[in-house]
Amino acid sequence: MKRVISLILVASVLFGVLSVNAYAADQAPRNREPFIFVHGLNGWGRDEGIDGILPYWGATTGNLMEYLQGEGYECYACSVGPMNSSWDRACELYAEITGTTVDYGEAHAKAHNHRRYGRTYTEPLVPNWGQPTENGLQKVHLIGHSFGGTTIRTLAQLLKDGSAAEREATPAENLSPLFAGGKGDWVKSITTICTPHNSSTFFYPAKYTGLLDLAVFLCFLYASIAGRIDLLSPLVDFHLEQFGLTNTPGEHDALPLTNMIKWYFSDSDDFAHYDLLPENMVKANEWLEINPDIYYFSYAYSATNKVGNLQIPRLTTNPVLFIPCFIMGVIPTFTDKKSGYEITAESRANDGIVSLPSALYPWDEPHTDFNADRITKGVWNVMPVRAGDHGTAIGLLANAAVTHALYDEIAERLVSLPD
């Protein structure tokens, strides 16, 4: 078994090296601002060995990054904590792009009882990000699927305003540039795909039946075990070293496994599943503000057909998502008195994970239906709803030509945006 795993890892590494070399052979990319792709909950990026076997971006239709690179675009599939909070993921994303050490913040680390610093990235993805060039300031385009959309919104917010709590808790000479703010113009556009901007109706039945707590516990238990096994950790990287739940890459610094049990039952709220709860997404949207200097686009999918007042899954829906898709399609309408979160008949349409209205735009921010002749900054340009489920959007059990056409469309639009 060890030999099989080793061969898989070697093949994945060689596959990645060949891909990088092929891309390096290209001349000037078509996009002056690189495309930064960010995966969703329980996903992975280019740094994980599994991406060479089943790429997150492209999935069963092939490696989407290679396809776009072949089309002449500079793009990167970033790796952030698959179960980490949007704050932690944003800090990890910033460090990966800038080639620095992950700094979760002095105040944040103390509040959530974990280490302030994470891993170190020795090479930046975008060496001159935020620096003046002969063509103007070097910016990036951020593209996020599912919770990746929340992650890039969080990064954009921190770049713009930083964190007052971190500035207060940290001497200026020891403060991460991310928390200083004043970088709102470093991002040219944000594109979200199937993002639960306003949570999802599925969290209500999942939470009240205890399924959510069980799933979270099993996920962290599995991550804590796999993150200690040298042969497995390169295959899937859980980025939980700040809690001591997994080894930092190249180290053996994970805390005893019993610490995972203690941590879980300490009611920690610094992870993705907590962020995604309806009442917490309401709070998050009060903090996350739209940036008037950024172009915003959102894509939403629906895997259901309307039958009376209900929404029934299409037969083409991914079998794994069929049951949650059905549950969300028949969920009773009500208003959560605690958070004010309202479930209406329209909320029943979904992609198997995210309610359709939630994926369109954050409800407290300006939005408009997409019009190619009138694309403005500081407002969500909402694309027409596409047929398919949560995985269709990234090529899982999808048609390769349709998947490539979607990302060709996204890439061409982003490249053509005026300054």
The 10s digit of each residue's pLDDT in 18-33 is: 344 344 444 799 999 9
The question of whether 273 is a catalytic residue gets the answer no
Give the model confidence (pLDDT) of 270-326 as tens digits: 999 999 999 999 999 999 999 999 999 999 999 999 999 999 999 999 999 999 999
Q: Is 418 helix (H, G, I), strand (E, B) or coil?
A: coil
Sequence-separated (6 or more) residues with CB below 8 Å from residue 333: 343, 344, 345, 347
156 phi and psi angles, rounded to 5 deg: -60, -40
Between residues 253 and 16, which one has the greater pLDDT? 253
Between residues 264 and 127, which one has the greater pLDDT?
127
Question: Quick check: 391 pLDDT over 60?
Answer: yes
User: For position 224, what pLDDT does the model report?
Assistant: 94
Model confidence at 4: pLDDT above 90:
no
Each residue of 114-140: b (16+ CB within 10 Å) or e? bebbbbebeeebbeebbeeeeeebbbb
Q: Is 146 labeled as catalytic in the residue annotation?
A: yes
Instruction: Say what percent of the chain tops pLDDT 70.
Output: 94
Q: Could you say which of 112, 114, 197, 390 is catalytic?
A: 390
75-78, strands of its sheet edge to edge: 75-78, 35-38, 140-145, 187-193, 295-299, 380-382, 367-369
How far apart CA 272 and CA 253 sit, in angstroms, is: 23
Quick count: other Cβ atoms within 10 Å of Cβ 416?
9
pLDDT score recorded for residue 5: 38
Cα–Cα separations (whole angstroms), residue 84 to 125, 313, 387: 21, 30, 29
Query: Pseudo-torsion of CA 155, 185, 72, 416, nearest 10°?
Result: 120
The one catalytic residue in 85, 351, 358, 404 is 351
Q: Give the pLDDT score at 338.
A: 78
Please state, in angstroms and rounded to a whole number, the distance separating the CA atoms of residues 346 and 332.
11
Confidence at 8, pLDDT banded by 50, 70, 90: very low
Find the catalytic residue in 146, 233, 298, 355.
146
pLDDT of 15 strictly over 80? no
Show the tokens assigned to 151. Answer: 């992650």
Average pLDDT for 132-154: 97
- DSSP for residue 128: T
Q: In order of start, what are the domains of the chain with their CATH numbers? A: 2-416 (3.40.50.1820)
Active site residue 351: yes
What does pTM read for this prediction?
A: 0.93
Res 262: pLDDT:
86
